[in-house]
Chains A and B, each alone.
Chain A
Amino acid sequence: MVQIKRLQEDGIDTLAVIGEIDASSSIELDLSIAKSVGEGFKKILVDCSSLEYISSAGLGVFMSYIEEFKDKGISMVMFGLNEKVANNFSILGLADLLHICGTKEEAKQLVNELSI
């Protein structure tokens, strides 16, 4: 069960992911990111501070956008991952392919730098 709250400020769309993402709920994440892209946002932050669990279904959603973001000049930065969630990204080597920061401030700074 996952809930995703979106908040837009300073041209940045922040998706706060709350709960657990598995094969039953990864579609929610996919739809939220697609919506943000569809609305034309070039800077996306994903707030993972309330993300308690993620399985390959959720990891796959993030991975599936890597090329599209590159093509469209969209930057996405994630922040606030707890140790267990971060480990799931690391097992697959995804931590090196995505932009992951500790805090919201760092993520904001990075997403702005990447968009220059």
Chain B
Amino acid sequence: MNYRYNIGCSLSNLKGIREFIRTSLDDYDIPELEMSAIVLAIDEMCSNLMIHAHHCNPDHKIELCILEPSSGELVFEIVDDGNVFDINAFNEPKMDNLIHEKRKGGLGIRLVKSIMDKVEYGSKDGKNVCRLTKVFKKDEQ
């Protein structure tokens, strides 16, 4: 089965997103460290979207969907109708530059790209769909 969660774009809802992922995937025996990295990546994607595309307006909704886990991969879809925030279009800032400029942001995209194997953008029924895929190596299952 697929798991769906509708959330208002308030940063206070990020905790609920993390709990939703953990609860939904509880039965799939994902190693804890792997699970916590996945939760982190989805938290980063949702908070980016809430901040940059929806300006943290709690009346704006996004939908997080976890597709039926199949052997070897896990697919998440984040659906919204704001401006597309395509992380593939952003060059990852160099760590040295971030440190030198004393910047607090810019790490989220780097984390998502390190953790997830694919980040794709498309549209469905007039809405934006961001699809994130995590592939598990055989010995990690």
Which A residues lie at the B interface, using CB under 8 A?
A: 1, 20, 22-24, 26, 30, 53, 55-57, 59-61, 63-68, 83-84, 87-88, 91-93, 97
Contacts and interface: CB of A to CB of B under 8 A. Distances in A.
Given A87-B33, A93-B95, A23 B51 contact: yes
B40 A88 contact: yes
Interface of B: 11-12, 14-15, 18, 32-33, 36-37, 40, 43-44, 47, 50-51, 95, 98-100, 102-108, 110-111, 114-115
Contacts, number: 82
A68 B103 contact: no
Given A55-B40, A87-B33, A97-B99, A22 B111 contact: no
B contacts with A: majority SS? helix
A71 to B, nearest CB: 10
B103 A64 contact: yes
Contacts of B100: 67
Contacts of B14: 22-24, 55
Contact of A56 (B12, B36, B44, B99): B44
